[in-house]
């Protein structure tokens, strides 16, 4: 009887991709895990200390829905200095995932079209469906670059929003300034909302990070501390964009998340002054290690940022290759979790070097093992 209670929208969400991977991995003992989507280093001590101090100081009740004033003011100052927009407002969200849910609910009506670049962060497609959006995929294979003419051709009179993620999960691709500018200008020309997910912006290894907000004052930017400061469990993000949109997101946050976790916001204030450049350099070296180890037997595109590689399978489908990897005690994610295609697989190099080296050895052996 309880099955009859489930809303229709919940049937639009398919958890089977990730579930199948972890069902296969359920019996693995001490796997070589290259599936991890978070930094392997711990939260810096200065941030932990600020969190503990906030708890001891009684910062344990709700904060204002939009966030604590010192954190907002500090981020707002940085945003104003970077973009010089008259109408750009900051608020603190309960993680970047919470921010994505807020912005899609605030902007998408049932039947509106949402453009998503394929491959994509798995949450994008599911959240867009939940709010009634119709997904329009723009393929970026084989090198994951953005072809602006493909985007233009995908736009219809129902297009409401474009979701953009650079550096990208799962590909590690970092869009060039030319690509980013072209996308921002196209969104402005067509009066389409452009949401830029910048949670990996600290992790750019070969070129400087460029935000589309530099070229379009109406871009809505979602950012946070989870990846750059290893604060995934703290659920602390922030958003900036035109006030008309931000005010609607704050209103919705009031009736959903209420506020970002209050003590964590004081930790975020400390994080803003925490230098993580050494961690970023460490990940650049890990990227280089894996690229050097795998380049002879795998086609590698992207991987200019974040801490992922999206590798083309040397044989079989992504699912078949990952199944064989799991049989060899290596946990990786098939590409069809992130894409309409099943030709690739994702690895994360957010791991100790010894584990990365073991994983690379297994991948190279599997490359020679044609099914």
Q: What's residue 18's pLDDT?
A: 65
Q: What's residue 20's pLDDT?
A: 67
Sign, Cα dihedral of 232, 234, 235, 240: negative
Instruction: For residue 318, give the 3-state DSSP assignment.
Output: helix
Gap between the Cα atoms of 57 and 61, Å rounded = 11
Q: Going from the N-terminus, what domains does the chain have, and what CATH number goes with each? A: 2-43+276-367 (3.90.1150.10), 45-271 (3.40.640.10)
Q: What's residue 24's pLDDT?
A: 67
Q: What's residue 14's pLDDT?
A: 76
Is residue 151 within 8 Å of 180, Cβ to Cβ? no
Q: Which residue positions in the chain have pLDDT lower than 50?
A: none
Token digits for 169? 């999960």
Is residue 140 within 8 Å of 146, Cβ to Cβ? yes
Tell me how crowded residue 307 is: count the other CB atoms within 10 A of its CB.
Answer: 29
Is residue 183 within 8 Å of 164, Cβ to Cβ? yes
Gap between the Cα atoms of 154 and 246, Å rounded = 27
């Amino acid at each position: 009887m309880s099955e009859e209670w489930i809303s229709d929208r919940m049937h639009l969400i398919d958890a089977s991709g990730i579930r199948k991977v972890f069902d296969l991995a359920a019996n693995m003992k001490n796997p070589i895990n290259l599936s991890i989507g978070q930094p392997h280093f711990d939260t810096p001590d200065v941030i932990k200390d600020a969190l503990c101090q906030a708890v001891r100081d009684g910062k344990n009740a709700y904060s204002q829905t939009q966030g604590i004033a010192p954190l907002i003011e500090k981020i707002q100052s940085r945003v104003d200095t970077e973009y010089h927009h008259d109408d750009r407002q900051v608020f603190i969200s309960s993680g970047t995932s919470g921010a994505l849910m807020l912005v899609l609910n605030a902007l998408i009506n049932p039947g509106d079209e949402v453009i998503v670049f394929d491959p994509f962060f798995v949450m994008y497609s599911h959240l867009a469906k939940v709010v009634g959006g119709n997904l329009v995929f723009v393929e970026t294979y084989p090198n994951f670059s953005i072809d602006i003419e493909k985007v233009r051709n995908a736009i219809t009179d129902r297009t409401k929003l474009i979701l953009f993620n650079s550096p990208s999960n799962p590909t590690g691709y970092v869009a060039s300034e030319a690509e980013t500018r072209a996308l921002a200008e196209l969104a402005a020309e067509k009066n389409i909302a452009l949401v830029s997910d910048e949670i990996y912006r600290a992790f750019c290894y070969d070129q400087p990070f460029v935000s589309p907000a530099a070229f379009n004052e109406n871009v809505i930017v979602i950012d946070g501390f989870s990846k750059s400061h290893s604060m995934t469990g703290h659920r602390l993000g922030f958003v900036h964009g035109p006030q008309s949109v931000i005010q609607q997101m704050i209103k919705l946050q009031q009736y959903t998340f209420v506020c970002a976790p209050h003590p964590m916001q004081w930790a975020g204030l400390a994080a803003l002054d925490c230098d993580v450049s050494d961690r970023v350099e460490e990940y650049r070296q890990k990227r280089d290690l894996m690229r050097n180890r795998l380049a002879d037997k795998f086609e590698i595109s992207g991987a200019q940022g974040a801490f992922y590689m999206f590798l083309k399978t040397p044989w079989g489908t992504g699912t078949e290759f990952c199944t064989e990897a799991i049989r060899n005690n290596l946990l990786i994610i098939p590409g069809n979790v992130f894409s309409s295609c099943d030709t690739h697989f994702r690895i994360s190099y957010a791991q100790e070097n010894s584990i990365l080296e073991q994983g690379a050895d297994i991948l190279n052996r599997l490359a020679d093992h044609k099914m």
